[in-house]
């Protein structure tokens, strides 16, 4: 392929003999690097998606070739322009591939800093208008490359919370799609318009806006920052386990999504990451880092993001995580999925008798309910039952279930004596809040952004920045007090304390208790199914119904002038 391309290029540039040997070699080397880079890039999709070791050396080789290719085209741009006819969109393609490499490196490592690198390359493409000439060429496949670049850039910006850039990109993408469909009369117009609708819904999913004094929207980040971490205090005796791996599973019907991320998955993945740092400050012009370079000890737990997995896929990834879990480490499983209820009556009460949550099947799904045209005495097949997770309780396991049948997981048994906790969402919400489910679950919102969730249940939809920051400070105080309640409790199950040494799990546990206490005090949350539950059960009087914590919640409500939404003397109501 390279030889053919060379012959064509050289002959079009005049007599072959006129071309100096050095320039001929430059074009040959460039064609070789370009071919090699494409070959390696295409090979990435053949790598196994699970397992953390097999892919690293292949990624390293791919990075190395792209580093050389990028530097080579920078150093020899004039020769490549004259002799090869290098077009700006081709440079854009190389930069776009490097952006994709960094994004996939982030997906594989969960290191947020690689998102910044992807952003740098995608940004450079836009700033330097690498794709601007594509529209002049009568080639629809080139325009599709440009549209895909926009979609990928939007995903990275969403993950970095760069909402202002997202809005600009959506507007540009909308214009590009209109121009593309007008010029080429293609069949994929509906698909591209769906992309626009999905990203618009994603941007608007947050139920509360935080506003500056000039009414511009404040972008709030919910990743773990140095200031937001909940530190252990003297006298708190907790375990030394560290969260090493997480499966984030999204299989909710009708929930806002973009790319292969539902809004619940998006929120949970941010709750398990630190704020990104720049790997290199000299990124004003695209230049590659060594792919092995890693920031100093700031590792995030490794994550697998599974959108609508089948049972086989889910179990394969789960087994891979379990196998590679280091000593003294925790595996977290987050399930945001439609509930599956038992189809028949059962006389026993075993781990397969309560249903569970939906796993994907391409058949037998009507309106989100699994239709089983089988004998009622059989168990639901396309369902993750509590019993399916039993083998994995041989190692420390932290489970979060956000589902209309989360309580199925209350019937767990700790067979192996390892630390095991399940945090379970309410199975139903008061009618006033039910129409919001498309924009993500309230329970997951509490685990990701507790103040926003608190404002939402209090009936507030916007807030000034100053008041928001004051409430965040107060919420940090509440979190510290919850940590004291947990670590000083005499009757709490030891599993909670063994997980409390990890800073991510510590935040999730304190937010869970804050969520549960808030809902129990709220006037419209009056049914038992409106409250979160846990396995093992928390001692209520020392945690979710503790008078000291209830007083704090009323104080927070007073700061926001929404005290009337909550019951004053909750202890009398039980």
**Residue 422's beta-bridge partner residues?**
399, 535
What average pLDDT does the chain have? 87
d(CA 242, CA 391): 20
Q: In 10 A of CB 28, how many CB atoms?
A: 15
Res. 98: pLDDT tops 80:
yes
Please report which confidence band the pLDDT of residue 376 belongs to, taking 50, 70 and 90 as the band edges. Answer: low
Please report which confidence band the pLDDT of residue 364 belongs to, taking 50, 70 and 90 as the band edges. Answer: very low
3-class SS of residue 241: coil
CB under 8 Å to 119, separation ≥6 — which residues? 99, 156, 157, 160, 162
Lowest mean pLDDT segment, chosen from 210-214, 251-255, 373-377: 373-377
Tens-place pLDDT, residues 200-214: 999 989 999 999 988
- Identify whether the C-beta of residue 485 lies closer than 8 Å to the C-beta of residue 492: no
Res. 172: pLDDT tops 90:
yes
- Do the two domains 19-206 and 242-274+299-361+379-565 of this chain adopt the same fold? no
**Residue 401's beta-bridge partner residues?**
335, 424
d(CA 378, CA 552): 49
Tens-place pLDDT, residues 144-162: 999 999 999 999 999 999 9
Percentage of the chain exceeding pLDDT 70: 88
- In order, the DSSP letters of 313-376 are HHHHHHHHHHHHPPTTEEEEEEEEE-EE--SS--SS--TTSS-EEE---SSSEETTEEP--S-T
Average pLDDT of 468-474?
95
Q: In 10 A of CB 432, how many CB atoms?
A: 10
The DSSP output letter for 83 is I
Res. 36: pLDDT tops 90:
yes
Res. 9: pLDDT tops 80:
no
d(CA 154, CA 160): 10
The DSSP output letter for 490 is S
**Residue 246's beta-bridge partner residues?**
303, 332
Phi-psi region of 70 (alpha: psi -120 to 50; beta: other; left: phi over 0): alpha
The pLDDT assigned to 234 comes to 74
Tens-place pLDDT, residues 221-238: 888 887 777 888 777 888
Dihedral sign for Cα 417, 423, 428, 430, please.
Answer: positive
**Spatial CA neighbour of 108 closest among 144, 62, 63, 59:** 59
The pLDDT assigned to 139 comes to 87
Res. 16: pLDDT tops 60:
no
Please report which confidence band the pLDDT of residue 329 belongs to, taking 50, 70 and 90 as the band edges. Answer: very high
Q: In 10 A of CB 546, how many CB atoms?
A: 20
Between residues 281 and 505, the one the model is more confident about: 505
CATH topology of domain 242-274+299-361+379-565: Rossmann fold (3.40.50)
The pLDDT assigned to 281 comes to 38
Tens-place pLDDT, residues 384-396: 999 999 999 999 9
Res. 286: pLDDT tops 60:
no
Res. 325: pLDDT tops 70:
yes
The pLDDT assigned to 4 comes to 47
Q: Report angle CA 521, 532, 482 to the nearest 5 degrees.
A: 65
CB under 8 Å to 302, separation ≥6 — which residues? 52, 109, 110, 244, 245, 246, 321
The pLDDT assigned to 335 comes to 97
Res. 513: pLDDT tops 90:
yes
Please report which confidence band the pLDDT of residue 7 belongs to, taking 50, 70 and 90 as the band edges. Answer: very low
3-class SS of residue 298: coil
Average pLDDT of 131-136?
84
CB under 8 Å to 95, separation ≥6 — which residues? 70, 121, 122, 124, 125, 130, 286
d(CA 374, CA 323): 35
Please report which confidence band the pLDDT of residue 353 belongs to, taking 50, 70 and 90 as the band edges. Answer: confident
Res. 257: pLDDT tops 50:
yes
Report strand pairing: 329-337 vs 242-251. Answer: parallel
Average pLDDT of 408-415?
90
Average pLDDT of 103-126?
93
Tell me the CA distances in angstroms from 471 to 285, 451, 552, 558, one per residue in order.
Answer: 40, 8, 12, 11
**Spatial CA neighbour of 271 closest among 574, 512, 55, 540:** 512
Burial of residue 195, with CB atoms counted within 10 A of its CB: 0-12 exposed, 13-18 middle, 19 or more buried: buried
Average pLDDT of 40-47?
89
Q: In 10 A of CB 489, how many CB atoms?
A: 17
* Every domain of the chain and the residues it spans: 19-206, 242-274+299-361+379-565
Q: Which CATH architecture has domain 19-206?
A: Alpha Horseshoe (1.25)
The pLDDT assigned to 298 comes to 56
d(CA 342, CA 454): 33
Res. 259: pLDDT tops 90:
no
- Identify whether the C-beta of residue 159 lies closer than 8 Å to the C-beta of residue 259: no
The pLDDT assigned to 283 comes to 36
Please report which confidence band the pLDDT of residue 266 belongs to, taking 50, 70 and 90 as the band edges. Answer: very high
Count Cα neighbours of 381 within 13 Å in the Cβ-side half-sphere: 13
Res. 416: pLDDT tops 90:
yes
- In order, the DSSP letters of 496-540 are HHHHTTSHHHHHHHHHHHHHHHHHHHBTT--SGGGS-EEESPP-G
The pLDDT assigned to 475 comes to 96
**Spatial CA neighbour of 520 closest among 430, 414, 387, 421:** 430
Reduced DSSP (H G I as helix, E B as strand, rest coil) percent helix, strand, coil of the chain, to 5 = 50, 10, 35
Burial of residue 181, with CB atoms counted within 10 A of its CB: 0-12 exposed, 13-18 middle, 19 or more buried: middle
Q: For 467-479, give one letter per residue: b (16+ CB within 10 A) or e.
A: bbeebeebbeebb
Dihedral sign for Cα 7, 10, 14, 15, please.
Answer: negative
Tell me the CA distances in angstroms from 62 to 56, 97, 218, 542, one per residue in order.
Answer: 10, 10, 38, 54
d(CA 330, CA 246): 9
Dihedral sign for Cα 432, 437, 438, 442, please.
Answer: positive
Please report which confidence band the pLDDT of residue 362 belongs to, taking 50, 70 and 90 as the band edges. Answer: low
Average pLDDT of 283-288?
38
The pLDDT assigned to 435 comes to 67
Res. 367: pLDDT tops 50:
no
Lowest mean pLDDT segment, chosen from 362-376, 440-454, 495-509, 557-571: 362-376
d(CA 18, CA 107): 49
């Amino acid at each position: 392929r390279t030889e053919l391309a060379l012959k064509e290029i050289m002959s079009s540039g005049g007599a072959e003999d006129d071309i100096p040997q050095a320039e001929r070699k430059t074009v040959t080397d460039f064609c070789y690097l370009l071919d090699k880079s494409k070959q390696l890039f295409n090979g990435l999709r053949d790598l196994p998606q699970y397992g953390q070791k097999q892919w690293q050396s292949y990624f390293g080789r791919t990075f190395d070739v792209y580093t050389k290719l990028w530097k080579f085209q920078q150093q020899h741009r004039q020769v490549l322009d004259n002799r090869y006819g290098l077009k700006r969109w081709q440079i854009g393609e190389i930069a776009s591939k490097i952006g994709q490499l960094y994004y996939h490196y982030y997906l594989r490592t969960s290191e947020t800093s690689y998102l910044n690198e992807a952003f740098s390359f995608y940004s450079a493409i836009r700033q330097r208008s690498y794709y601007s000439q594509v529209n002049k060429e009568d080639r629809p496949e080139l325009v599709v490359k440009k549209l895909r670049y926009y979609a990928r850039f939007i995903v990275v910006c969403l993950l970095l919370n760069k909402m202002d850039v997202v809005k600009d990109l959506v507007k540009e993408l909308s214009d590009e799609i209109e121009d593309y469909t007008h010029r080429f009369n293609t069949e994929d117009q509906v698909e591209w318009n769906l992309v626009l609708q999905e990203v618009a819904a994603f941007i608007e999913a947050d139920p509360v806006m935080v506003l500056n004094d000039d009414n511009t929207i404040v972008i709030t980040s919910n990743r773990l920052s140095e200031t937001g971490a909940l530190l252990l205090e003297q006298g708190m005796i907790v375990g030394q386990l560290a969260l090493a791996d997480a499966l984030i599973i999204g299989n909710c019907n009708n929930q806002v999504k973009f790319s292969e991320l539902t809004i619940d998955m998006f929120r949970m993945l941010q709750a398990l990451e630190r704020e990104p740092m720049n790997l290199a400050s000299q990124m004003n012009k695209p230049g590659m880092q060594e792919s092995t370079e890693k920031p100093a000890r700031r590792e995030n737990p490794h994550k697998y993001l599974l959108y609508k997995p089948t049972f086989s896929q889910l179990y394969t990834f789960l087994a891979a995580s379990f196998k590679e879990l280091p000593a003294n480490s925790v595996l977290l499983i987050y399930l945001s999925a439609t509930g599956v209820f038992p189809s028949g009556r059962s006389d026993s009460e075993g781990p397969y008798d309560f249903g569970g949550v939906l796993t994907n099947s391409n058949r037998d799904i009507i309106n989100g309910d699994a239709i089983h045209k089988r004998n009622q005495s059989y168990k639901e097949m396309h369902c993750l039952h509590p019993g399916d997770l039993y083998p994995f309780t041989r190692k420390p396991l932290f489970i979060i279930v956000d589902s209309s049948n989360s309580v199925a997981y209350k019937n767990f048994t700790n067979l192996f004596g390892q630390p095991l906790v399940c945090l379970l969402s309410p199975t139903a919400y008061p009618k006033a809040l039910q129409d919001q489910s498309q924009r993500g679950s309230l329970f997951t919102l509490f685990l990701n952004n507790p103040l926003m969730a608190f404002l939402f249940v209090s009936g507030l939809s916007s807030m000034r920045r100053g008041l928001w920051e004051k409430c965040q400070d107060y919420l940090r105080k509440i979190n510290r007090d919850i940590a004291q309640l947990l670590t000083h409790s005499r009757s709490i199950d030891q599993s909670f304390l063994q997980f409390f040494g990890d800073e991510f799990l510590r935040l999730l546990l304190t937010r869970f208790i804050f969520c549960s206490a808030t809902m129990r005090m709220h006037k419209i949350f009056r049914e038992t199914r409106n409250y979160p539950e846990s396995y093992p059960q928390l001692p209520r009087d020392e945690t979710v119904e503790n008078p000291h914590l209830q007083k704090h919640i009323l104080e927070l409500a007073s700061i926001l002038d929404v005290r009337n939404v909550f019951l004053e003397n909750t202890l009398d109501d039980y």
